Amino acid sequence: KEPHSEADQMAIGLQIRDNGVSPEIPSNCDPCLKELMERCWQLDPERRPTMEQICDVLDKRLEENTVDK
Q: Return the higher-pLDDT residue of 57 and 41.
A: 57
Q: Over range 14-37, report the average pLDDT.
A: 88
Give 32-55 pLDDT, tens digit per residue: 999 999 999 888 999 999 999 999
Amino acid 15: pLDDT: 83
d(Cα 37, Cα 60) in Å, to the nearest integer? 15
The residue among 41, 32, 37 whose CA lies nearest residue 62 is 32
Q: What is the DSSP string of 7-31?
A: S-HHHHHHHHHHH---PPPPTTS-H
Q: What is the DSSP string of 28-51?
A: TS-HHHHHHHHHHT-SSGGGSPPH
Q: Over range 1-19, report the average pLDDT.
A: 78
